[in-house]
Amino acid sequence: MKKTTIHDIARELNITFSTVAKALNDHPRIKASTKIAVREMAVKLNYQQNKLASSLKSGKTGIVGVLVPTLDVSFFSSVVHGIESVMNENGYSILLYQSKELHAHEVSGIETFLQSRVEGIISSLALETSTFDHFKELKERGIPVLLFDRTDDEIGVPCVRIDDYRGGYMATEHLIKQGCKRIVHISTDQNVKIFKERLRGYKEALLHYNLPVDDKLIFYGNLSIELGMQCIQQLVDNNVDFDGIFAFEDYTGLGVLKQLKKLNITIPNQVKVIGFANEAFGAHITPPLSTVDQQTVKMGEESARLFLKLLKSGEYYSTTPEQIVLDPLLIIRESSGGVG
């Protein structure tokens, strides 16, 4: 069963295919009656425009490549949800690729996108990625790129992210205002900018409130529940004095809560805890975990909007790359002694 084309419609109606094409595109110089006839025949024959052909001719595919580390993490799937929604409203489709946190897959994804002639790429960097030639080359070749969350200034493209520095500052400040004097920060040894920014915010907040920055209170490890548990155990084993914990993300914060409970250290009385990311479980655990929300869906929507705005301006890279920095939202729950 072959697909019907404008030629089929033309033949049925005894007109030329170019008249059909114009009728379907609502060309002003086509008689209303033939437009109607053409459309009826199109429906009758189950006609579907072949976008491959029209894209080939027009040079516009209406497709945007979305390249993310994985969809199996709620942060990314939520952002992609936002991107797709806005793109869809604007008549664009999404070609999806997961980098699996690998540099090589990222390169493959870009290759695939270019071959498919996407009109641009929206992406968030893989953890493994530490050189950025593949993205810089896209920019040099004039291909629209927008990065969200995991970005790098070196690349020089528009980006949308939250203010991780501010988030780190807010989380720490909150603990200070709750009365904490010796606040631990658990971070990661991975070379990822956003985590460094949260650490920077932590330090700045301490300085601002005249509290010492004590390296013995800063831990580095791999994102996991276990990391949080180990840090608490280590603090206790070494008789380190502490009354607040700011974990760089919620899973680590969860580990912190678990171990504190196990050791019968009361939360939030003896120790106050805050995480980062506002994962789905945080509101439902005991005690509910205070955290910092990253506005994931909005991040996706804003990414799509900025991308489309620049695309439609016709000069995507003409000016200094625009940045949208979203405000992190402090979510106060019982673990930090808030209004729970």
The radius of gyration of the chain's CA atoms, rounded to the nearest angstrom, is: 26
Residue 233 contact, options DNA, its own copies, none, Cβ 5-8 Å cut-off depending on partner type: none
Q: Work out what residue 291 binds among DNA, its own copies, none; the CB cut-off runs from 5 to 8 Å by kind.
A: none
> Could you give the CA distance from residue 180 to residue 224 in angstroms, rounded to a whole number?
25
Shortest CA distance to 103 belongs to which of 75, 132, 77? 132
User: Shortest Cβ distance from residue 92 to DNA (Å)?
Assistant: 16
Burial 91-121 (b: 16+ CB within 10 A, else e): ebebbebbbbbbbebbbebbeebeeeebbbb
H or E segment to which residue 187 belongs: strand 183-188
280 binds its own copies (CB under 8 A): yes
State yes or no: residue 279 binds its own copies (CB under 8 A): yes
The verdict on 63 binding its own copies (CB under 8 A) reads yes
Q: Give 325: exposed, middle or buried? Use CB within 10 Å, 0-12, 13-18, 19+.
A: middle
The DSSP code for 148 is: E
| Cβ closest to its own copies, residue 13 vs residue 95 | 95
Locate 321 and state its tokens.
């790359």
For residues 32 and 289, give the distance between their C-alpha atoms in angstroms, rounded to a whole number.
64
Please report, as ranges, the residues that interact with DNA according to CB under 7 A: 2-3, 5-7, 14-19, 21-22, 24-25, 27, 29-32, 34, 47, 49-50, 53-54, 56-58
**Cβ 50 to DNA, closest distance in Å?**
3
Find the binding residues for its own copies in span 132-151 (CB under 8 A).
141-142
Quote the longest CA-to-CA distance of the chain: 91
> Which one of residues 29, 32, 33, 46 is an interface residue with its own copies (CB under 8 A)?
46
**DSSP element (H, E) containing 133:** helix 133-140
Give the residue from 10, 18, 16 showing the smallest Cα distance to 38. Answer: 10
Nearest distance from C-beta of residue 202 to DNA, angstroms: 52
With CB cut-offs between 5 and 8 Å by kind, which of its own copies, DNA, none does residue 224 bind? none
Q: Which does 236 bind (CB under 5 to 8 A by kind): its own copies, DNA, none?
A: none
Residue 274 · residue 250 · CB < 8 Å: no
3-state secondary structure of 238: coil
Residue 15 is a binding residue for its own copies (CB under 8 A): no
Residue 116 site contact among its own copies, DNA, none (CB < 5 to 8 Å, cut-off depends on kind):
its own copies
Q: Which of 14, 33, 115, 210 binds its own copies (CB under 8 A)?
A: 115
Interacting residues toward its own copies by CB under 8 A:
1, 46, 48-53, 55-56, 61, 63, 66, 70-72, 74, 77-78, 80-81, 84-85, 88, 93-98, 100, 111-112, 114-117, 141-142, 254, 279-281, 284-286, 297
